[in-house]
Structure 1
């Protein structure tokens, strides 16, 4: 279901988005949309940032890669992020 806005709004030029875009690599757009939604969840993102370190010994590779991706997406100097193949 797609909801169209009631009026057309021109995009702002010269402004960065809220977070970097994820590069769609080999048809990964559906996975990227899930990652973007999880990243937009402020509570989840803050929990990862404040309670897990990059060097934490995770047992689950997927969780470790997701945490690394969260850190990359928080970096305001990054424009595009390419998710690892394990995601």
Structure 2
């Protein structure tokens, strides 16, 4: 599993409320950059953009409301993801859908 995916799972494993907002914005921005232009990731990138705006505006409730859909979009990427990342993506999708 790639290190970015692993650190995102670790951060979210403590619960969403345990993630610092500035750290979350940085993580979201990094994921947007990593997934931009990736085939099939358009919906995830769009969802990350919405999440970033909510976090930057301090709308934590709105950000939390976006996570289940983002989790479903991540789940949709699993079949086409590298085999080494599929289990990590499943874990991430489950955490987001919480």
TM-score by length of 2: 0.29
Higher helix proportion (structure 1 or 2) = 2
Whichever structure has more strand as a proportion of its residues is 1
Structure with greater contact order relative to length (CA < 8 Å, sep ≥ 6):
1
Say which one has the larger Rg: 1
What's the TM-score once normalised by structure 1's chain length? 0.32
